[in-house]
Structure formats: C-alpha cells, structure tokens
C-alpha cells in the first residue's frame, strides 16, 4: 500500500484526488494536510511514498500586495515542503504548476515554447518549479504538472464563470475555438498513473483533443439537465470581446498544447 500525502485542505483537485484513490481500497492510504496557517515542520513526512502539493494561492485578483503573497505561498512554501520531503526520505514530490507559466492567453504551446509568465501567479509557479526541480535525484523524483484549464462540477475560476453564463443563457453560443482542457476525472486518472510509476519531468495532463468553449458550456448544461441547443446570435459580440478584451480572449480564444506531453525538468539558472 502506498502512503500518499496531499497538501492543501479543501482544495478542488486534492479533494477529488482523495476520493478517486479511495476507489482502490488496499492500494493507497491517503491523508490531506492543511497548509493555511501551518508549517511543513508540523507534519511527519517520513514513510510517505509521495506528496502531492496542491496548496496555492489562485483565482485572486492581483494587486500591489499579491506578489509577496504569491511568492511566499506558491514558491517558498512549496519549496519548503519539497525540501522536507526529500530530507525525510519521501520518494516522489508531485508539484502542481500551471499553463500560466507560458504567459499566453491565445496561441499554440509546443515543446519549443519558452515559459514567459506575465502574471504574478505564473511567475511564482515557474520560480517554484525551478527551485524544486533542483532537488531531484535518483532517489527523489520530482513530477511537475502544467495542466491547462481544469473543469468539472464545482470547479472554480474560469470554469465557474462559464458555468454561470451557460446556466443563464437559453442556448450555447455556436462559436468555434480550440482550447486544451482537462476534466477533473481525467486529471485524477493521470495523477494515479504518475504515482504508480514515478518519474521526474514536466507533464501535461489534458483531454485527448482540444475542446471548444461551446463544447464545455454544452457539457455544463447537460449536467444541469438543461436543454442544449446552439445559436450564432452572440457571435458578433464574442468576436469583439475576443479581439479587444483579455477576458474575451481567455474565454473564447484559441490556446492549445500541440504534441506536448512530457519535458525534462526546468533549470533554475535558466531564468537568470
């Protein structure tokens, strides 16, 4: 039986991962650790096979005060947990990063795309990646994930905003775009695979093919047992929003991972 520690009490991904692994009784012993108001040193990591670090500041409006908060929580705390994990003999550290490290709202991301975050959140995640990656060796595997938008029942951030729109409209916009996404079920299945066969590297869990925003909204309406039909009525407004606003680009723009599933660990000095 593998002992798995999840850092981040009540986190969306952590809660679903714990429930998913519970489907395999006898294979995993899972414990969730609260990080808010706590320090890693309060917990004993020794004997754990893997730590899945999902604790982070996310979905928060950035202000003059947030850079320090992002650095403290998303980078310094993550590194402190990883460092203690290695010191206490944990075999694998799974770190949740983000597509945000690329700083793209639209476009295509390939293996040759250089990370260039343009938000404090993205910068803190990339900095943490590079510091944690430096800890990897033959006995301590560092598994970094850069998932695209995670959707599913109860998801926060952009999916929550789209779900509110989908529930209020009498139809789904019939607008074609392509976005790499990952459902919470697909993500948990991928996580199980990373835990079962630990490897160091950067990984990109995602659906088999990009979805359109309309596809996602249609799924949301079906989940609410609401009628599904599409209309092009709002397409002129969507095109204007996509052209002139960041929110429109994020909601209805094209943003995809192309043939991107695994990369070597990033190097800390590459950003200096």
pLDDT surpassing 60 at residue 107? yes
pLDDT single digits (tens) 47-94? 999 999 999 998 777 787 788 889 999 999 999 999 999 999 999 999
CB 98 within 8 A of CB 155: no
> What is the 8-class DSSP label of residue 107?
E
* CA-wise closest residue to 17 among 90, 96, 88: 96
Residues of the chain above pLDDT 70, percent: 98
Is the distance from CB of 167 to CB of 224 less than 8 angstroms? yes
Cα separation values, 183 from 70, 152, 157, 209, Å:
25, 6, 14, 12
Q: Is residue 183 a contact partner of residue 245, using CB atoms and an 8 Å limit?
A: no
Q: Which of 192, 262, 181 is nearest to 217 (CA)?
A: 181
Q: What whole-number distance in Å separates Cα of residue 242 and Cα of residue 236?
A: 10
| DSSP labels, 4-70 | EEEESTT-HHHHHHHHHHTTSTTTEEEEEE--TT--GGGS--TT-SEEEE-----S----TTHHHHH
pLDDT bucket at 151, cuts 50 / 70 / 90: very high
What pLDDT is stored for residue 37 in this prediction? 86
Give the pair of three-digit tokens for residue 40. Answer: 């890693």
Query: DSSP state, 74?
Result: I
The per-residue pLDDT for range 207-249, each reduced to its tens digit, is 999 999 999 999 999 888 888 889 999 999 999 999 999 989 9
Checking phi first, is residue 52 left (phi over 0); if not, alpha (psi -120 to 50) or beta? Answer: beta
Q: Is pLDDT of 159 > 60?
A: yes
pLDDT in tens, 49-59: 999 999 999 87
Residue 270's pLDDT is: 40
pLDDT for 271: 42
Q: What is the mean pLDDT of the chain?
A: 93
- Which pLDDT does position 157 carry in this prediction? 86
In DSSP terms, 102 is beta-bridged to: none
pLDDT at 272: 39
CATH of 2-152+182-206+257-271, one of 3.40.50.300, 3.40.50.1000, 3.30.2350.10, 3.40.50.720: 3.40.50.720
Q: Are the beta carbons of 81 and 53 closer than 8 angstroms?
A: yes
Residue spans of the domains in the chain: they are: 2-152+182-206+257-271, 158-177+210-252
């Amino acid at each position: 039986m593998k002992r798995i520690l999840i850092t981040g009490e009540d986190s969306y991904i952590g809660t679903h991962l714990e429930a998913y692994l519970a489907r395999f009784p006898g294979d995993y012993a899972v414990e969730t650790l609260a990080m808010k108001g706590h320090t890693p040193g309060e917990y004993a990591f020794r004997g754990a096979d893997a730590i899945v670090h999902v604790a982070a500041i996310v979905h928060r409006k950035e202000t003059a005060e947030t850079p320090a908060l992002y650095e403290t929580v998303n980078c310094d705390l993550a590194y402190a947990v990883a460092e203690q994990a290695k010191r206490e003999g944990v075999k694998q550290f799974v770190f949740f990063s983000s597509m945000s490290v690329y700083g793209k709202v639209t476009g295509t991301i390939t293996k040759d795309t250089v990370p260039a975050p343009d938000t404090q959140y993205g910068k803190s995640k990339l900095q943490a990646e590079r510091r944690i990656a430096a800890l990897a060796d033959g006995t301590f595997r560092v598994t970094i994930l850069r998932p695209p938008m995670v959707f599913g029942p109860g998801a926060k951030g952009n999916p929550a905003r789209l779900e509110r729109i989908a529930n209020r409209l009498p139809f789904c916009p019939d607008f074609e775009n392509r976005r790499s996404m990952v459902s919470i079920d697909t993500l948990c299945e991928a996580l199980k695979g990373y835990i079962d066969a630990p490897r160091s590297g950067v990984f990109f869990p995602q659906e088999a093919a990009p979805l359109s925003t309309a596809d996602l909204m249609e799924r949301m309406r079906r989940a609410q047992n609401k009628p599904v039909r599409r209309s092009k009525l709002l397409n002129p407004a969507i095109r204007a929003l996509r052209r002139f606003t960041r929110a429109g680009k994020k909601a209805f723009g094209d943003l995809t991972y192309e043939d991107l599933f695994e990369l070597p660990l990033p190097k800390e000095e590459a950003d200096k």
